[in-house]
């Protein structure tokens, strides 16, 4: 399993690297890891409307909108899972968070 996960992360790095360099050109705003997921969501998903409050939608719906709007919102391949996780934890049907 150890071997597999090392390989998997190498593969992931190989897949993400080109996406990063492409994203640098395609998305004007910065998309570095120091940006909080919530801020990333607000930045990307407010181009056409005020960012929707995720708590008003279930995750399946949010996920659909993420996939639908990602490319028009300038969401890069590396940002998408970050925003997805944020939506998952903020959705109406999110699992309760133990500690805040
Ligand atoms: C290219 C423009 C555009 C971008 C960028 C965009 N949206 Fe939207 N979005 C729309 C339009 C148009 C509607 C439908 C009209 C409305 O409700 O304002 C909409 C509606 C929504 C709704 C409400 C749907 C409903 O029926 O209540 C959600 C949720 C949503 N968008 C999520 C997102 C998320 C998440 C992102 C970021 C990935 C995003 N949007 C980025 C254009 C956009």
The answer to whether position 97 is within a domain reads: no
Q: 45 CA distance to ligand 1 centroid (A)?
A: 7
Q: H-helix or E-strand containing 2?
A: helix 2-26
Is the CB of residue 46 less than 8 Å from the CB of residue 54? no
Q: How confident is the model at residue 10 (pLDDT cuts 50, 70, 90)?
A: very low
The answer to whether position 80 is within a domain reads: yes
Please state the domain count of the chain: 1
Kindly compute the dihedral angle of the four CA atoms of residues 89, 90, 91, 96, in this order, to the nearest 10 degrees. 60
d(CA 24, CA 17): 11
The answer to whether position 79 is within a domain reads: yes
Is the CB of residue 81 less than 8 Å from the CB of residue 56? no
Residue found by looking up tokens 């994203």 in the block: 23
Q: Please tell me the predicted confidence (pLDDT) of residue 91.
A: 97
- Nearest-CA residue for ligand 1 atom 15 is 49
Q: Please tell me the predicted confidence (pLDDT) of residue 98.
A: 66
Give pLDDT tens digits for 69-88. 999 999 999 999 999 999 99
The packing angle between helices 59-69 and 80-90, to 10°, is 160
Q: How confident is the model at residue 27 (pLDDT cuts 50, 70, 90)?
A: very low
* Domain extent for 41: 2-90
The answer to whether position 99 is within a domain reads: no
The answer to whether position 96 is within a domain reads: no
Average pLDDT of the chain is 78
The answer to whether position 100 is within a domain reads: no
Is the CB of residue 59 less than 8 Å from the CB of residue 87? yes
- Nearest-CA residue for ligand 1 atom 37 is 45
- State the pTM of this model: 0.72
**Residue 59 above 50 pLDDT?**
yes
């Amino acid at each position: 399993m150890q071997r597999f996960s090392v390989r998997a992360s190498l593969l992931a790095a190989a897949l993400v690297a080109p996406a990063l360099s492409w994203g640098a050109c395609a998305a004007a705003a910065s998309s570095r890891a120091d940006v909080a997921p919530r801020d990333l969501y607000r930045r990307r998903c407010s181009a056409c409307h005020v960012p929707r409050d995720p708590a008003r939608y279930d995750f399946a719906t949010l996920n659909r909108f993420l996939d639908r709007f990602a490319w028009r919102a300038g969401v890069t391949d590396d940002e998408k899972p970050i925003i997805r996780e944020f939506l998952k934890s903020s959705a109406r049907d999110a699992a309760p968070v133990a500690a805040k």
